[in-house]
Chains A and B, each alone.
Chain A
């Protein structure tokens, strides 16, 4: 369904040139939920943005159903591929009612029966018609994310790109949204690409997943391997450990009280600085 070959994405030029994604390959089957995991700056969201035309492709190719994507993407593309954004507070227009937000894609694609379809779309994501004429600020975060999902599905796409769909939500709401996404996928035979920093969320929803680091593939694995605790790379192991909460080391080096010298700290290795320093990268142009 989705073929990504040797994909590289570059922002800026000259001294500011940043290669956000470097030669990435992966393939997503029809009806599959595929996960992209990584920390900020790993390029995982950039891959999603490149698929739907929000980030420039520097090298390599993206094909949907065997056809290379065109530049710019046509209307046909957008009725096949839709996206759900991370922040439900930012992805809905603040001055438009839910009705207006949901009717916009239908008007753009010149489709009829707007009334029926809007009510049906709301119904499908578990919101009654009572929500139809409200403004986004009158809804909770979870309800907004449901509206965003309804908007993505109202054109009946085959592929839905999910960019951290639950990371701005409370744990209990996250469970509801994950269940909703799972139900919609089985009911409609959708293909998902789920981007998340949370390994637990990805392994819950996806069978196969790609761990990314610094714009490159760290590991292509599947959820059952992780469930057995047998990741191939040390980085994935570190991620797994980090998601399980704080591990208090027994013999931790003391924090220097009042130091003036430059004592080297074993914990402050170059690697840790590196992973933190990636945040300064531009996420999108």
Chain B
């Protein structure tokens, strides 16, 4: 009986969400969110991406509960060094006799931080510079794009090195340096998108309602640029994680013994022939996480475009 009641309540909720004639803005917004979710969940690859990313978040939150061995302090160096995957150590141990599984689980926090900081810093900068340059045109465009070109002209790692040298070593500074150096492609993409829509009739129509350039850019142009930038950001994720690792390897990013995935690969490099798992396990972790972000980004793009909803 109770089961029936809940199912009918659920049915009513679904009806309320999917109605073609919502009564209020709130209902319309919830309804379109629900429909986006339906469209998203129909895409198995996107769902796989979402599951991977959610798993990463959960693992990062509950790292201490999931992996009890210390990720930093190893076991007995005489008996537990470089052990293959087995019962005691699921993914084996490294040359310091540390449990690799535990290091991976705790390293997810760093990975997540890298990803979030880069998104939070680089995406808005790139979007803002790109859309402003594209919309305003003229000398504003020229100045902003030359600055972008200067940033693009340096190899990312070199530029990040310079920033870290100025800011001081450490994972947070490394990530900030990466974020600052990774916005130029986003600005380029946002500018290209803006150029195609700045003279479209719907932008002119808003201009003719007396909207300020700031309002036009933030409320009408940026939403159209976000999907392609998101795609690019998710594609860059793997590269960003690796750049962070590279900085760590050079002693300017994550400092040992911090369990950072890239640094783990770098450390496992010398044992790759005899003890393959040391470098391979973090490699697989990086691969899975970047794949997850890519799939999620692809799925998001489809959902963010209402024309693809059909």
Q: How far is the CA of A154 from the CA of B306 in the complex (A)?
A: 25
Selected interface stretch from A10-18, A22-30, A130-138, A209-217: A130-138
B28→A85 contact, CB < 8 A: no
Instruction: Judge if B25 is at the interface, Cβ distance under 8 Å.
Output: yes
- Knowing A95-B223, A109-B210, say if A135 contacts B306 (CB, 8 Å): yes
Q: Bound state CA distance, A78 and B200, in angstroms? A: 19
Task: Out of B28, B199, B209, B210, name the residue touching A99 (CB < 8 Å).
Answer: B28
Question: Could you tell me if A78 and B209 are in contact, using CB atoms closer than 8 angstroms?
Answer: yes
A79 vs B200: C-alpha distance in the bound complex, in angstroms? 21
Q: Which of B8-56 contact A (CB under 8 A)?
A: 20-22, 25, 28, 31-32
User: Which residues of B (180-220) have their CB < 8 Å from a CB of A?
Assistant: 199-202, 204-211, 215, 219-220
Q: Are A83 and B25 in contact (CB under 8 A)?
A: no
Chain A residues with CB below 8 A from B201, complex form: 85-87, 90-91
Closest chain A CB from B127 CB (angstroms): 15
Interchain nearest-CB distance for A285 vs B (Å): 9
Q: Is B157 engaged at the interface, CB distance under 8 Å to the other chain?
A: no
B241-297 at interface with A (beta carbon < 8 Å): none
Q: Tell me the minimal C-beta distance from A71 to chain B in angstroms.
A: 14
Near B by CB (< 8 A), chain A positions 126-147 give: 129-130, 132-135, 137
Interface range for B? 20 to 34
Question: Does A31 lie at the interface of the complex (its beta carbon under 8 Å from any beta carbon of B)?
Answer: no
B78 touches A (CB below 8 Å)? no
Within 8 A of B (CB), among A167-226: none
Q: Does A108 contact B (CB under 8 A)?
A: yes
Q: Does B307 contact A (CB under 8 A)?
A: yes
Is A133 touching B205 in the complex (CB atoms < 8 A)?
no
Known contacts A85-B201, A95-B223, A109-B210; is-contact A133 B306 (Cβ 8 Å)? no
The answer to whether A151 touches B199 (Cβ under 8 A) is no
Min CB gap A68→B, angstroms = 18
Contacts of A151 in B (CB 8 A): 205, 209
* B200 close to A95 (CB less than 8 A): no
Indicate whether B224 reaches chain A with its CB closer than 8 angstroms: yes
B224 touches A83 (CB 8 A): no
Residues of B within 8 A of A132 (CB): 22, 28
Query: Chain B residues near A95 (CB, 8 Å)?
Result: 223-224, 304-306
- Chain B residues lying within 8 Å of A87, measured Cβ to Cβ, are 201
Q: B307 contacts which chain A residues (CB < 8 A)?
A: 94, 137
Interface size on A, residues (CB 8 A): 37
Chain A residue contacts of B32, Cβ below 8 A: 97, 133
Closest to B21 in A: A130
Q: Which residues of chain A (69-91) have a CB below 8 Å from chain B?
A: 73-75, 77-79, 82-83, 85-87, 90-91
Query: In the complex, are the beta carbons of A108 and B25 less than 8 A apart?
Result: no
CA distance A282 to B309 in the complex (A): 36
Note all chain A residues with C-beta closer than 8 A to B209. 78, 82, 104-105, 108-109, 151, 155
Please, how many angstroms separate the alpha-carbon atoms of A82 and B219 in the complex?
Answer: 20
The reply to whether A90 and B200 form a contact with Cβ atoms under 8 Å apart is: yes
Complex Cα distance, B206 from A83, in Å, reads: 10
* Majority-rule SS of A interface residues: loop
Chain A residues near B215: list those with CB within 8 A: 108
A241 at the B interface (CB under 8 A): no
Contact of B207 among A54, A92, A130 (CB under 8 A): A54
- Contacting A83 at CB < 8 Å: which of B31, B208, B223? B208
* Most-contacted residue by chain A among B31, B199, B209, B210 (CB, 10 A): B209
A105's nearest neighbour on chain B, judged by CB, is B209
CB-defined contacts of A93 to chain B, threshold 8 Å: 202, 206, 220
A4 interfacial contact with B, CB 8 Å: no
**Bound form: Cα–Cα A134–B28 in Å:** 9
> A74 to chain B: which residues have CB within 8 Å?
210
A230 contacts the other chain (CB 8 A)? no
Closest chain-B Cβ to A138's Cβ sits at a distance in Å of: 9
Closest to B27 in A: A133
CB distance B206 to A104 under 8 Å? Answer: yes
CB contacts under 8 Å to A, within B74-102, are none
Establish whether residues B28 and A104, one from each chain, have CB atoms under 8 Å apart when the complex forms.
no
Residue on A nearest B25 in the bound complex, by CB = A99
**Interface flag for A284 (CB, 8 Å):** yes
Q: Is A78 within 8 A of B199, CB to CB?
A: no
How far, in angstroms, from A210 to B215 measured CA to CA in the complex?
37
Check A64 for interface membership: any CB of B closer than 8 A.
Answer: no
A52 at the A/B interface (Cβ < 8 Å)?
A: yes
Can you list 30 pairs linking A and B with CB atoms under 8 Å apart?
A53-B208, A54-B204, A75-B210, A77-B210, A78-B209, A79-B210, A82-B208, A85-B204, A85-B205, A90-B201, A92-B202, A94-B307, A95-B223, A95-B306, A99-B28, A104-B209, A104-B211, A104-B219, A109-B209, A130-B20, A132-B22, A133-B21, A133-B25, A133-B32, A134-B20, A135-B306, A137-B306, A151-B209, A155-B209, A284-B199
Nearest 4 CB-CB pairings of A with B: A133-B28, A91-B201, A78-B210, A105-B209
Give chain B's interface residues, CB within 8 Å of chain A. Answer: 20-22, 25, 28, 31-32, 199-202, 204-211, 215, 219-220, 223-224, 304-307
Given contact pairs A54-B207, A87-B201, a sample of 17 additional A-B residue pairs in the complex whose CB atoms are under 8 Å apart: A54-B208, A75-B210, A78-B210, A85-B205, A91-B201, A91-B205, A92-B205, A93-B202, A93-B206, A97-B28, A97-B32, A105-B210, A108-B215, A130-B21, A132-B28, A133-B25, A134-B20
